[in-house]
């Protein structure tokens, strides 16, 4: 799941013209947390997935690879 989540976050960041620092500020986290997700070192917790889904206006199922758009 880590790879899918990381890839989906990267794609959404690119589509929205965001870097790691900007995304972290938008969802109230630290840049190193975003970096760890993108590198596949960690997975977002459910509250972080909610924040990402709300910010990018996508389903959590999309973020975790259960749904495609």
Does residue 68 fall inside a structural domain? Answer: no
Does residue 48 fall inside a structural domain? Answer: yes
Predicted local confidence at residue 1, as pLDDT: 64
Say which CATH number the domain at 59 has: 1.10.260.40
Does residue 69 fall inside a structural domain? Answer: no
pLDDT tens digits in sequence order for the chain, 69 residues long = 668 999 999 999 999 999 999 999 999 999 999 999 999 999 999 999 999 999 999 999 999 999 887
- The 10 Å CB-count burial string (b at 16+, else e) for 35-45 is eebbeeebebe
Structural domain span for residue 36: 2-63
Does residue 43 fall inside a structural domain? Answer: yes
Predicted local confidence at residue 29, as pLDDT: 97
Number of domains in the chain: 1
In this structure, are residues 22 and 55 in contact, taking their beta carbons and an 8 Å threshold?
no
Eight-class DSSP state of 57: T
Does residue 37 fall inside a structural domain? Answer: yes
Helices and strands (H and E) in the chain: how many:
5, 0
């Amino acid at each position: 799941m880590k790879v899918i989540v990381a890839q989906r976050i990267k794609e959404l960041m690119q589509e929205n013209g965001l870097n790691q620092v900007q995304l972290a500020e938008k969802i109230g986290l630290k840049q190193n947390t975003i970096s760890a997700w993108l590198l596949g070192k960690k997975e977002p917790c459910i509250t972080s997935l909610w924040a990402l889904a709300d910010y990018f206006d996508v389903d959590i199922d999309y973020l975790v690879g259960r749904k495609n758009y």
